[in-house]
Structure 1
Amino acid sequence: MNLKIKGKTALITGGDSGIGIETAKFLVREGVHVILSDKEGGSDLEKAKEEVEKECADGAKVLTKAADISKNQEVIALADYIEKEFGGAHIIFHSAGARGAAGDFLTLTDEDWKETIEIDLMGAVRVCRAFIPQMQKLNWGRMILVASENAFQPYEEESPYNACKAGIINLSKCLSRAYSKENILFNCISPAYIETPMTDAMMEDLAEEKDISVDEAVKWFVKNKRPHIAMERRGKPEEVASVVAFLCSEHASYVNGTNVRIDGGAVESAFG
């Protein structure tokens, strides 16, 4: 499918694994230049670059740049780097995030909340603030932020994460109203229980806690903690990435200010 974005430039935060790297593959196949970014540089980011480069077509380039989204100066430096290399970013897929502090609400401290907010909510704020001016100059932009099923169907042990992801959806809607007249579109995706390093770590901890295999932990978790997933399995990163790629494209030119759930039926309500 021709997404009509050949020659555009895309930044993918959280780009060294999971949904980020799979989205990068979709985009470089369309001739999009991609910058993969993550908190840490080094071997993981370079391995991701090598993997994505195998999929490049139509002159697409892949670069890497480490940036900690909890630090404003690093986000600004990332924006400056992309402007210098490519003249700015047309597409942002902000996939970086963390589960953050979890547990009984009464046990979570101010610091627990602040740490999650700095990454999951303020990280998105910083990225949007740094890159909207570039999109204004280019008169074209696609900003896709990652929310979660937790925004609609919160889980009691993840209150900071729940609140941040609800905030992401509100932020995206707000910005879609402010900048759509400048041909900059803002949308969210809300994945649920996808095969990513974050859920891998959760399952490894659960397996150790219950003295079972990771595969058994996944099955137990779906049955007992995510019973509304109609498909009864974890989602695959590429199943999310294909939707993101569409939202980045010219074919999605009338999709703005919306949230797309990619959850296998995990949210029980029809109107969540």
Structure 2
Amino acid sequence: MTTSRGRWSDLDRPPLGVRALRDALIRPAGLWTALDVVEVTGSTNADLADAARAGRVGAGAVLIAEEQTSGRGRLGRTWSAPARSGLFFSVLLRPERHVPAARLTWLPLLAGVAAATALSRAAGVDAVLKWPNDLLVRVAGEERKFGGILAERVADADGGAVVLGIGLNVSLRAEELPVPGAGSLLLADAVSTDRDPLLRAVLRSLAEWYTRWTEAGGDAEAAGLHAAYEKCSATLGRRVRAELPGGGETRGEAVAVDDEGRLVIAADDGTRQPVAAADIIHLRAA
């Protein structure tokens, strides 16, 4: 006799409550305007970008996948996990209506602050940020990546948008980790791995920070975003090595994040070099 693995096949990983999520998050004059959950897809970022180009979704759309088979990170890196073991979602935003193009580099950092602060409260973990877009928790005494962020610009009929994707390992067990050094909220001894309240917390935090930032015209200092990022950062104050395309590298102490969201590295000779996320391959401990 065979049994099918349905949505309730793993009682530790129940499906998301779509109706309750919509009731909690979609409000008149709120940022989120539509919310959909699909059972499985390749990439929520790719699906939402296609929908935007086709004119099927507007600003504030949220797309969530119970399982993502071809999730993408920076530089085409992949992200996958068992069904209902994490939060894999993308949102459609139009920041260029309020924010100068030079300040858009702060959007992935903003998403990191929103996720880290929300999960620190809702899951009871010390979530921190590795520049530019990694979320870390402490597992067995070491910092491990449990989440990532990817922002992609989309050209559509309404003048362009940004699809912002977030992937978070929630209930992954040690034997399910994609790489040995990865982590999850479960392995970090989170007080809760219930995905519904965790997702609500992250999306509410993202809406709050995004609204504050756009109302400030993208000024991270005025919005309080710059200070919040520094408080969440696990990179500042540490010696790092930025690996550059072509085999070059920049070494030194990470001393600041500048007005454009670039990491400022102070070399041993006293010079300071800002590096942008788009200009590096890896950032590692030196």
Confirm or deny a common fold (TM above 0.5).
Answer: no
Q: TM-score, normalised by structure 1?
A: 0.33
Q: Which has the higher contact order (CA 8 A, sep 6+)?
A: 1
TM-score, normalised via structure 2 length = 0.32
